[in-house]
């Protein structure tokens, strides 16, 4: 005699309602708004470090109202060029967190463009650490990649990195 199957039939559990289900086209698109991170007890900030050329930016974020300070100065007074402001805040705009995170940045070295790109990388790293779901969106927008281009060193026997001394035939 064969043993009988003692398992009971299980009911299928549907997660979500019909309003929560997404069409396949919408689920393939990157998510652009994320929930505000909740900090653990004893943790006040989430840190990220960004570098570009000679500039190094140390970025701290926490849930807040969207205040951004760079070297204890207002963001718009520190970055006077619009391209630098747009570049530095692009991780916040990509994730839709412009009004839900407070940002403090200490940046040193380099010029204005290098500093803005260093802030961009540091902010993207801090957001990815705070919201792990956002890392894929930031990576797709090419915000998590460090730009490794730096100034080429001067070579001996030449005027610069590639420029030679002027040649005189006679």
Over residues 52-61, the pLDDT tens digits come to: 999 999 999 9
Quick check: is 99 in a domain? yes
Count of domains observed in the chain: 1
Q: Tell me whether residue 4 is in a domain.
A: no
Q: How many CA atoms lie within 13 A of 37 on its CB side?
A: 23
- Centroid of chain to Cα 24: 27
**Is residue 95 assigned to a domain?**
yes
In a domain, 14, yes or no: no
Interatomic CA distance for residues 55 and 118, integer angstroms: 6
Which range of residues forms the domain containing residue 109?
34-140
Q: Is residue 59 part of a domain?
A: yes
The four Cα atoms 30, 36, 62, 90 give a dihedral, to 10 degrees, of 30
Residue range 6-43, pLDDT digits in tens: 555 544 434 344 444 444 454 444 556 676 676 666 67
CA distance 55 to 113: 9
Looking at the domain assignment, is residue 43 inside a domain? yes
Q: Give CA–CA dist 147/124, Å, rounded.
A: 13
Asked whether residue 110 is assigned to any structural domain, the reply reads yes
Quick one: average pLDDT of 98-120?
93
Residue 84 lies in a domain: yes
Write the CATH number for 100.
3.30.230.10
């Amino acid at each position: 005699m064969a043993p009988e199957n003692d398992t009971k039939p299980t009911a299928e559990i549907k997660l979500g309602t019909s309003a929560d289900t997404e069409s396949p086209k919408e689920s393939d698109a990157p998510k652009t708004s994320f929930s505000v991170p909740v900090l653990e007890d004893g943790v006040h900030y989430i840190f990220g470090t960004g570098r570009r050329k000679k500039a190094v930016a140390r970025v701290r974020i926490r849930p807040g109202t969207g205040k951004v300070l760079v070297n204890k100065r207002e963001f718009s007074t520190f970055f006077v060029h619009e391209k630098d402001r747009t570049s530095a805040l692009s991780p916040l705009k990509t994730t839709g967190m412009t009004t839900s995170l407070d940002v403090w940045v200490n940046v040193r070295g380099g010029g204005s463009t290098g500093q803005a790109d260093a802030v961009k990388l540091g902010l993207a790293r801090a957001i990815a650490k705070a919201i792990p779901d956002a890392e894929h969106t930031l990576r797709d927008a090419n915000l998590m990649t460090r730009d490794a281009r730096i100034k080429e060193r001067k070579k001996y026997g030449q005027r610069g990195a590639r420029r030679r001394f002027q040649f005189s035939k006679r």
